[in-house]
């Protein structure tokens, strides 16, 4: 297949999934055309089946905000006309689903049918999308996509609850590439971080409000008083300064902010516990990546997280913001070496269900179905 992929090129979960999916499809022999404003963060090396089409924004004094939607629509039309796409897969509804719809209409005037698949990722539904500023466009563009997928059952439910959707939504969960996310021996690194054999706790996020990084610090300060431990905070974003200030006053020497890291799998390889206390999370890709590296997860029970982090098996899930409960569960795991080892193994086994090689064929099958249906629609 000749597949177009529209996504955000950043480290955010939707961009990561879109890029890894594209790379996987290219390895399966498909031609993949990424259409976005910057080279996607995880598209590091050359691949003979991967093409990257940059959406350029030309500035003009009249524009306070250069119209990205228009530039993206034009680029989709251009790529489709010249590369003859069989299907376009857009990740994150805003503004990708509506630009895809517009491009599809333009292509019709060239007698070209472009089937469009929209994948809903989370905040495009639960946070940003339902804002009245965007809602009518989001609803319309979901209903007018040829195929719609959501990354968890929870996100599917939220979509039907918050929008007037008449379209079927197929759940295709996120995935992890075990070629990259694998526990490796990083003993020297572990010694440097935890020289006295302290437990290592890790949090990775974009430090937005929804991630509740303050909960990570609060629980860690209590945990580290009883159990010698270190906390590694990976990522960057608006809440980082607040978190650093919290730490400065309480347990400074035990917490390190590492900023954005390329090789998070190396940090995960030395971790004992991954912490994800989010207020809302459609899936929790960072938790899955931790589990693939044999790290149990202590998380909130928000949104789709409990579908990934199975309470009492791969870690624990507790109510959002319940610091006492987090601490209690952390003690259960970190104080019992035998139990911790069991949870590490169980986390890995659960993660195996989300192996890229298992999920990729689901997308290929879905594309085929949408392409076939779209052909039938034209001949009707």
- Give me the residues that bind ligand GMT (CB under 6 A), please: 12-14, 17, 92, 121-123, 126, 151, 174, 206, 208, 210, 280-285
Is 102 or 207 the residue whose CB approaches ligand GMT more closely? Answer: 207
Closest contact distance (angstroms) between CB of 94 and ligand GMT is 10
Q: 201 near 284, Cβ under 8 Å?
A: no
Is 171 or 250 the residue whose CB approaches ligand GMT more closely? Answer: 171
Q: Which of 309, 300, 305, 306 is nearest to 279 (CA)?
A: 300
Closest contact distance (angstroms) between CB of 173 and ligand GMT is 9
CA dihedral 78, 81, 86, 91 (to 10 degrees): 10
Is 229 or 309 the residue whose CB approaches ligand GMT more closely? Answer: 309
Is 95 or 284 the residue whose CB approaches ligand GMT more closely? Answer: 284
Closest contact distance (angstroms) between CB of 123 and ligand GMT is 5
Closest contact distance (angstroms) between CB of 125 and ligand GMT is 8
Closest contact distance (angstroms) between CB of 159 and ligand GMT is 12
- The values of phi and psi at residue 80, to 5°, are -65, -40
Cβ-based neighbour number of residue 132 at 10 Å = 6
Closest contact distance (angstroms) between CB of 280 and ligand GMT is 5
Is 123 or 224 the residue whose CB approaches ligand GMT more closely? Answer: 123
Closest contact distance (angstroms) between CB of 179 and ligand GMT is 19
Give Cβ neighbours of residue 64 (< 8 Å, ≥ 6 apart): none
Closest contact distance (angstroms) between CB of 45 and ligand GMT is 22
Q: 269 near 183, Cβ under 8 Å?
A: yes
Place of tokens 């946070």: 127
Q: Which of 186, 202, 195 is nearest to 295 (CA)?
A: 202
Tally: H helices and E strands in the chain = 15, 13
Q: Which residues of 177-209 are buried (b: 16+ CB within 10 A; e: fewer)?
A: bbeebebeebeeebeebbeeebbbbbbbbbbbe
Cβ-based neighbour number of residue 342 at 10 Å = 14
Helix (H) or strand (E) holding 204: strand 199-204
Closest contact distance (angstroms) between CB of 4 and ligand GMT is 19
Is 114 or 117 the residue whose CB approaches ligand GMT more closely? Answer: 117
Give Cβ neighbours of residue 73 (< 8 Å, ≥ 6 apart): 99, 102, 103, 106
Closest contact distance (angstroms) between CB of 130 and ligand GMT is 13
User: Exposed, middle or buried, 45 (CB in 10 Å: 0-12/13-18/19+)?
Assistant: exposed
Task: Please give the Cα distance from 248 to 241 (Å, whole number).
Answer: 10
Is 71 or 171 the residue whose CB approaches ligand GMT more closely? Answer: 171
Is 102 or 283 the residue whose CB approaches ligand GMT more closely? Answer: 283
Task: Please give the Cα distance from 182 to 225 (Å, whole number).
Answer: 31
Is 77 or 173 the residue whose CB approaches ligand GMT more closely? Answer: 173
Is 239 or 254 the residue whose CB approaches ligand GMT more closely? Answer: 239
């Amino acid at each position: 297949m000749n597949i177009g992929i529209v996504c955000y090129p950043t480290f955010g979960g939707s961009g990561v999934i879109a890029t890894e999916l594209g790379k996987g499809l290219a390895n399966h022999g498909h031609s993949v055309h990424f259409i976005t404003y910057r080279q996607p963060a995880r598209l590091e090396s050359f691949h003979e089946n991967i093409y990257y089409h940059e959406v350029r924004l030309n500035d003009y004094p009249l524009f306070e905000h250069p119209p990205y939607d228009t530039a993206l629509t034009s680029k989709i039309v251009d790529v489709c006309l010249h590369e003859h796409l069989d299907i376009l897969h857009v990740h994150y509804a805003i503004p990708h689903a509506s630009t895809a719809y517009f491009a599809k209409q333009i292509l019709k005037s060239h007698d070209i049918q472009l089937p469009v698949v929209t994948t809903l990722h989370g905040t495009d539904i639960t946070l940003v999308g339902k804002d009245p500023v965007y809602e009518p466009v989001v609803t319309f563009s979901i209903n007018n996509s040829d195929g719609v997928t959501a990354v968890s059952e929870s996100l599917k439910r939220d979509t039907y609850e918050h929008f007037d959707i008449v379209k079927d939504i197929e759940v295709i969960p996120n995935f992890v590439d075990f070629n990259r996310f694998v526990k490796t021996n990083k003993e020297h690194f572990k010694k440097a971080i935890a020289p006295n054999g302290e437990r290592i706790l890790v949090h990775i996020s974009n430090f937005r409000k929804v991630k509740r990084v303050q909960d990570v610090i609060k629980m860690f300060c209590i945990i580290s008083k009883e159990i010698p431990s270190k906390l590694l905070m990976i990522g960057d974003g608006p809440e980082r300064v607040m978190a650093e200030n919290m730490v400065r006053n309480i347990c400074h020497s035990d917490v390190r902010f590492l900023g954005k890291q390329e090789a998070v799998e190396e940090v995960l390889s030395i971790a004992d516990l991954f912490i994800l206390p989010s207020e809302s999370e459609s899936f929790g890709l960072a938790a899955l990546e931790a589990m693939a590296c044999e790290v149990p997860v202590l998380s909130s029970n928000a949104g789709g997280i409990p579908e990934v982090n199975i309470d009492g098996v791969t870690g624990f899930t507790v109510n959002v913001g319940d610091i006492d409960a987090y601490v209690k569960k952390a003690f259960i795991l970190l104080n019992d070496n035998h139990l911790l080892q069991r949870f590490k193994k169980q986390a890995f086994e659960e993660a195996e269900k989300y192996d890229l090689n298992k999920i990729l064929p689901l997308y290929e099958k879905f594309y085929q179905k949408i392409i076939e249906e779209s052909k039938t629609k034209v001949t009707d």
